[in-house]
Amino acid sequence: MRRKPFVATILLVLVCALALAGAALAGTGGFAPPTPRSPNAQRTNDAYYLILAFTGAIFLLVETALVVFVIRFRSRGRPRTVEGPQIRGHTRLEIIWTAIPVVILAAITGFVFYKLPGIKNVPAANAAGGRIEIGVEAHQFYWQFRYPDGSTSVDELTVPVDRNVHLTLTSPDVAHSWWVPSLGGKIDVIPGRTNHTWFRAQQNGVYRIRCAELCGIQHAVMLGFVRVVPQSDYASFLGARHAKTADLARETYQGVCAKCHGFKGEGGIGPKLAGSAGLNDRTALAKTIRNGIGMMPPVGRTWDSRQLNAVITYLQKHVASSAGGAAGGG
Ligand code: CUA
């Protein structure tokens, strides 16, 4: 007769766990990582699920035992002064509960070390299909990408599908962290140090980049995208980059200036730029962009003259004349 409530409780716990597991694992916002779209992200995912399986099983075991013991060994009206049975050590049990965790930890460690080279090591330059070299600069508060032909882009990296992409990461200001959850693990971007990582996107699409290191007041908006396109689109993207400065100018304004000064220059955490007389002096403006001033970081420290001139022209043409009214912004 006594067993019935235990069995019912265990069943209830199991049913709840299973019901919650479905919801918890469902896509973004749950406990599951985003769908991996690169071999290194896939390997990270594999390790995640191995660890989840062990921790999930242990959680169920411990919680079930807890509930069973709470019910089975309840006081049943026994006076508080009465001592429970005194139990001495149990050698075999102690060996078992030491040995099993050791085996589990060894299995996890072994698996992770087996997967690690495929996550961390950048595929060789002479690997099938070769690799594309991309320079990634992390700045307060944007990402700048340098392509093999010398082109640049801000906050949006365009790469062809099914190619190894080797990233060389540097920071001219403070520590940031490169993270594209679908395309492999995080890597810190640290001033004075050059770090490397890679991915091979297996599907066309747009993948979110996040800065994963608190790098200043606008860290939260240090977002970007990796745009994965067919090989032919990549070639035409680079062609267009060379021909048109306008795209780079707009991108630079939106990715670099607008995050603090507003999309229309209406001001934000940085001063209002719209209608500012200071925008007329190209030389002073160039100096401010390169070196920073007061709270403003030296955002343009690494820009070539093409990018610097392009954004100054953009500021004068689209922002200086704009009213940047109170209702503006984006
Ligand atoms: Cu860069 Cu946070």
Contacts of 141 by beta carbon, 8 Å cutoff, 6+ apart: 211, 215, 216, 218, 219, 221, 222, 259, 260, 297
pLDDT in tens, 13-58: 777 777 666 666 665 557 788 899 999 999 999 999 999 999 999 9
Residue keyed to tokens 């022209």? 313
Q: Cα of 212 to ligand 1 centre, how many Å? A: 6
Q: Is 219 in the pocket of ligand 1 (CB under 6 A)?
A: yes
> What pLDDT, on the 0 to 100 scale, is given for residue 51?
95
Q: Is 136 in the pocket of ligand 1 (CB under 6 A)?
A: no
First and final C-alpha spacing in the chain = 67
Q: Which of the pair, 277 or 30, is modelled with greater confidence?
A: 277
Q: Cα of 112 to ligand 1 centre, how many Å? A: 28
pLDDT in tens, 50-89: 999 999 999 999 999 999 999 998 888 888 888 878 888 8
> What pLDDT, on the 0 to 100 scale, is given for residue 323?
62
The answer on pLDDT for 330 being more than 50 is no
pTM: 0.81
pLDDT in tens, 125-164: 887 778 999 999 999 999 999 999 999 999 999 999 999 9
- Listed as own residue / partner, the contacts of 273-282 with beta carbons closer than 8 Å and 24 or more positions apart are 273/315, 273/319, 273/320, 273/324, 274/319, 274/320, 274/322, 274/323, 274/324, 274/328, 275/320, 275/321, 275/322, 275/323, 275/324, 276/320, 279/315, 279/316, 279/319, 279/320, 280/316, 280/320, 282/312, 282/316
> What pLDDT, on the 0 to 100 scale, is given for residue 5?
67
The rounded distance, in Å, linking the Cα atoms of 197 and 82 is 64
Nearest of 113, 139, 110, 134 to residue 122 by alpha carbon: 134
Q: Is 213 in the pocket of ligand 1 (CB under 6 A)?
A: yes
Q: Cα of 328 to ligand 1 centre, how many Å? A: 26
Atom of ligand 1 at shortest range from CA of 140: 1
Q: Cα of 300 to ligand 1 centre, how many Å? A: 16
Give the closest residue (by CA) to ligand 1 atom 1. 176
Atom of ligand 1 at shortest range from CA of 212: 2
326 pLDDT band (50/70/90 cuts)? very low
> If DSSP codes are grouped into helix, strand and coil, which group holds residue 268?
coil
DSSP string, 75-131: -TT--TTSPPPP----HHHHHHHHHHHHHHHHHHHHHHHHHHHHHHSPPPTTSTT-E
Atom of ligand 1 at shortest range from CA of 219: 2
280 pLDDT band (50/70/90 cuts)? confident
Residue 172 DSSP symbol: S
